[in-house]
Amino acid sequence: MKIALSYWKRYDLVFKHFSSKRVFKKILGFAKKLGEPFTKKSNRGPKFKINPYEYAAYTVFEIIAHNGHYRDMESDSELYVNKHLDHSTFGKNFQKIPYMYFLNMLEETGRLLENLLGKVKILIADSTGTHSHVYHDCDVMLKKTRRKKRYKTHALVSSHPNAKAIYIRTGIGSNLRISDSEGAKRMIGKDSVENCLFIADRGYDFEKVYKECHNKNIKANIKPQKYESNRSPKRKNAIKQYSENLYKGGRGVVESIFGGLSNKGLLNTKLRKDENINKHSLISMFRHNLYTLLRLQVGLSQLICLINRQTHKDSKV
Length of the chain: 317
pTM tops 0.75, yes or no = yes
CB 261 within 8 A of CB 287: yes
Q: Which residue in 22, 19, 24, 86 sits closest to 50, CA to CA?
A: 86
Percentage with pLDDT > 90 across the chain = 54
CB 220 within 8 A of CB 246: no
- Characterize the bridge pairing of strands 143-160 and 219-222: unpaired
Handedness of CA 96, 100, 103, 104 (dihedral sign): negative
Q: What is the pLDDT of residue 110?
A: 95
Q: What is the pLDDT of residue 8?
A: 66
Higher pLDDT, 170 or 235: 170
Q: What is the mean pLDDT of the chain?
A: 86
Long-range contacts of 235-240 (CB under 8 A, 24+ apart): 235/205, 235/206, 235/207, 235/210, 238/210, 238/213
2: pLDDT strictly greater than 60: no
Q: Which residue in 134, 119, 104, 153 sits closest to 280, CA to CA?
A: 153
Local confidence band at 149 (pLDDT 50, 70, 90 cut-offs):
confident
pLDDT tens per residue, range 111-145: 999 999 999 999 999 999 998 887 878 787 778 88
Could you give the dihedral angle defined by the CA atoms of residues 58, 60, 66 and 69, in that order, rounded to the nearest 10 degrees?
80
Q: What is the pLDDT of residue 295?
A: 87
Q: What is the pLDDT of residue 11?
A: 67
